Structure 1
């Protein structure tokens, strides 16, 4: 006698995978985590079991990051009237640090190491949105658990001023951060195909790993001056380890990492 097979919807499998990934964040190498997140993001945006609808794609542009040269695009697709998947890709080319006053409050930087820095960023954030109430798909108040991978690039320098010469030690590197969190917001339909999405707040927490280096030969006096400046550079949000030797400078960051997501996005549904 044939046994009846139990069918599990594809979207249910992907939702299960997302929660498995939240647990997986604490294990494995950075490369493995990034590959897993990329596959997961593509997967939830192409779920074959999505409900067929007319104009079921919504692409959005976040207006707030444009003020600091950051481009943030989102794609959202409904699964049913109360559930959708959303993916965000954000990019900022290397430029001066935005919101310098916030950075100054988070770092002790008497020698203006960050003030000379060029800062770039890239992030990818898949999320699931649960719309509350009895409104149609993609409308109303929502709660959205998400995971985020962010890559930050920094290029700066340490200046060594001696009585008879001026020396600059260039430093560059990247910081990778993996976080998870929950956002709340509201989305409105302004016209036939035009939407406004306000992500009110999305606190997230995870961990980071970064390496920054400046490979250049340093004599004993230069090493002492560079080490002095780095000893005066510290942070209340990152764990920083610094090493100075005759071959140059190495700075490593690790430990917990936190952030807040927010957005005011205009979207077009097609």
Structure 2
């Protein structure tokens, strides 16, 4: 019984503090909350998962959006963007024998859902018309991240995911169900012809019932993070 008790206690101690919960600090500046959970499997291997959420708000980093889209008519000017993503990864710690610490390489897969709300403005001499458009885009990517994790104090850790490029595919659909007469259809088509992106394919349809935009094709992104964590 004594031997069994010692073995049980030893096993419990070996399992102590193999978990780490973290908050990514960088996304907070744009209203995004990203939480991570990491669990060590041995001194060189762990699994990590990230859940990120952003409520509908103004587009962050507008200069990046302006460089990614040809938008002469400012269709994205007042757009609202919401986002949700989940990213599992496997971490291989290379440079340290202590669990959850040191330089790591982390293959990952990511699913992201983006909701967009914007409008097209038809402004003629005798009337002013706004066509609201909303929808979602789903993206799946995979890649490899590199980073380093430090122990700052008892149970407190700092995780710097230096860079994590990912590549995959997307599909999305955005609709504006607003009746349009012939003149309005021509103006909306003209604006949409000048709206394009070098990052994805955009299919545009305009008829008397409104507007439909569909996206498809490749999708790329870069993951990075500076997270503070608590080990338990």
TM-score normalized with structure 1 length: 0.80
2:100 counterpart of 1:146? no
Q: Which has the higher contact order (CA 8 A, sep 6+)?
A: 2
2:62 to 100, 125, 130: 100
Q: CA RMSD in A?
A: 1.0
1:61, 1:234 → 2: CA distance? 35
Report the structure, 1 or 2, having the larger strand content: 2
2:36 counterpart of 1:71? no
TM-score normalized with structure 2 length: 0.93
Q: Structure 1 segments of 4 or more deviating over 4 A?
A: none
1:113, 1:204 → 2: CA distance? 28
The match for 2:209 is 247
The match for 1:196 is 158
1:172, 1:229 → 2: CA distance? 17
1:162, 1:239 → 2: CA distance? 30
2:224 counterpart of 1:262? yes
Q: Which runs of 5+ in 1 are unaligned?
A: 1-50
Can you list the C-alpha shifts for 1:130-150, whole angstroms capped at 9, x where unaligned? 000342110000000000000
2:80, 2:135 → 1: CA distance? 11
2:204, 2:95 → 1: CA distance? 52
Can you list the C-alpha shifts for 1:59-97, whole angstroms capped at 9, x where unaligned? 000000000000000000000000000000000000000
The match for 1:4 is none
**Does the 8 Å contact 2:149/2:157 carry over to 1?**
yes
User: Which stretch has the larger CA shift, 203-212 or 132-141?
Assistant: 132-141
Aligned length: 220
1:248, 1:205 → 2: CA distance? 33
Deviation at 1:252, TM superposition (A): 0.3
Can you list the C-alpha shifts for 1:184-233, whole angstroms capped at 9, x where unaligned? 00000001100000000000000000000001110000000000000000
The match for 2:117 is 155
The match for 1:226 is 188
Deviation at 1:57, TM superposition (A): 1.2
The match for 2:143 is 181
